[in-house]
Structure 1
Amino acid sequence: MTNTAFPALFISHGSPDTAIADTQAAAWLKQMAADLPRPRAIVVASAHFEVSGGVAVSADPHPETIHDFGGFAPELYAMQYPAPGAPDLARRIADDLQAAGFAARAIDKRGFDHGVWVPLKLAYPDAEIPVVSVSVDPNKGPDYHFRLGQALAGLGAEGVLVIGSGSFTHNLGEAFKRLRVGTRVADVPEWVESFTGWMNARLAANDVEALLDYRSEAPFAAKNHPTDEHLLPLYVAMGAAGEGGHAHLVHDSAEFGVLAMTMWQFDPAVVAQPAA
């Protein structure tokens, strides 16, 4: 007999209009839930929930839908994701993080930013599963967020799906240049291809040491991520799989040539149990 647990996922959530776009990434998100058991709750570390000096965990029982963007189609601003929160789970997560040495607290009145609700609206459109948001710290690096994920590693065995929601590459200046051309499908430049190839190879090899030092080791790291915050959720997902886990690529596409919509699944180690 084996002990099964939920994997952790890293999702590139892309532009807010991923919620209504006909893209490869949106199509993958729509079928994501079919490949997993139904979780009892979902915990999302979002690149758009930035808190410096500690970790905030959303404990609102009825989080609002935050439209934290501008210049998009009116229908996006009318969209709601009325999933319930999970205050008891949020407080327990905050306690666990404190025990692991983090300055963590459960907070009220924090809604779902688009890094949370856009992918979940596609993957779990019924909005019935409770959702808790966890912040990232833009002033802390990959190691901090990997350890944060490790502090969440027990959740998968309890039927909780942990998601890191960010972007595999996130140079918006380059993306806006291509957006003005008006096409979402474009050639991938060498500086993106080199970076994503390096990251994918290191993830497949479980080369944690190199990944934690990606800014020094990965080619074109600063050009693909002028700031860290959109890659930090990847490290939360990595850590949340626990010791002995393994990663596999579940989706790989690009938009505007420079926004890699890469998704990774981090499976926990399978632990053999004594026969009954």
Structure 2
Amino acid sequence: MTLPSLFVAHGSPMLALEDNGYTRFLENLGQELPTPEAIAVFSAHWDTPDQSFSVDESHDTMHDFYGFPEEMYELRYPAPGSAKLSQRIGQLFEAGNLPNQPVRGRGLDHGAWVVLQKMYPDANIPVVELSVDSRRSPAEQYAIGAMLTELRRQDVLIVGSGGLVHNLRLIGQSGGEADPWAVEFDDWVTEQLESWKINELFEYAKKAPHARQAVPSYGSEHFIPLFYAMGAADDDRQAKRLFQDYQYGNLSLNCWMFGS
């Protein structure tokens, strides 16, 4: 069995407590996908120039946010780690001549656990978290994801967790219609993904409408997990959008599946 890879928006940390169309979608997605043996998740909230990955037997839950209700800080997602998967990830990075750093004791940040808490609430599937590097080119990010392609044939679910439109300086405080510029940017990304136009996507900063608003220079780390997840499906270049919505006017909640 070959699992797909996923790009999943983690939105606001409050998704952990919310019950809405997107959270219900994530809950259903976890039930509809074949149950993975383990999960490897690239998180926007671990941005480092050294390609890092967790090697813990069990994970603490990081509450790497502030100003939220006290209930948020009481949530725990005690997923186990996987020594087997961590070791294989290191081997694949070595085979790809990618300098890498195993990390112990960091815990799962909210980019990882908020999504996984909805998809796999029992926290019984081993998780290895991986960093992203916003200083690398999209082509390099894609290539790093491609180093892990074989894991999908070994019942490992590869997830990129971030957000295609994620500019906290522009979000609104009320509901209502999505901002047109955010929709136009997402529509452009959709067109490229559905045709797997990776060269166009690699040039998104120059070619996509409203790219500076959707992916600000200070915040590209939320967009780039897309490339890691795509790269992991380089052997089966198919893309399908599973969900699309917005919160606060332009914070996009989207999920893409790559590979068949």
Amino acid at match of 2:189: M
The number of equivalent residue pairs is: 258
1: CA distance, partners of 2:181 / 2:200: 19
8 Å CA contact 1:59, 1:88 repeated in 2: no
Gaps of 5+ in 2: none
Query: Per-residue CA shift, 1:203-253, capped at 9, x if unaligned?
Result: 111111101111111111111111310011111110111323201000011
Selected match of 2:206 from 208, 211, 216: 216
Task: Report Cα offsets for 1:128-185 as digits up to 9, x if no partner.
Answer: 000000100121131111001100100110000000000011110011xx12xxx3x2
Which residue among 17, 27, 32 is the counterpart of 1:30?
27
Contact 1:141 1:232 in 2 (8 A): no
Q: For residues 53-68 of structure 1, what are the structure 2 equivalents within 5 Å?
A: 54-68=50-64
Give, in whole Å, the separation in 1 of the partners of 2:82 and 2:124.
12
Aligned equivalent of 1:197 = 187
Whole-angstrom distance in 2 between the partners of 1:232 and 1:260: 14
Q: How far apart are the structure 1 equivalents of 2:101 and 2:83?
A: 12
Runs of 4+ displaced beyond 6 Å:
none
For the 8 Å contact 1:81–1:121, the answer to whether it is kept is yes
Tell whether the 8 Å contact from 1:170 to 1:224 is kept in structure 2 after alignment.
yes
Aligned to 2:39: 42
Instruction: Give 1:272's aligned residue.
Output: none
In angstroms, what is the RMSD of aligned CA positions?
Answer: 1.1
For normalisation by structure 2, the TM-score amounts to: 0.96
1:271 is matched with none
Opposite residue 242 of structure 1, the aligned amino acid is D
Residues 81 and 127 in structure 1, CA contact (< 8 A), matched pair in contact too: yes
| Distance (whole Å) between structure 1 residues aligned to residue 58 and residue 135 of structure 2 | 29
Q: Offset at 1:114?
A: 0.3
Q: In 2, distance between residues paired with 1:255 and 1:63?
A: 29
Unaligned runs of 5+ in 1: 269-276
Question: TM-score by structure 1 length?
Answer: 0.91
- Higher Cα Rg: structure 1 or 2? 1
- What amino acid does structure 2 have at the position aligned with 1:190? P
Residues 54-63 or 7-16, more deviating:
54-63
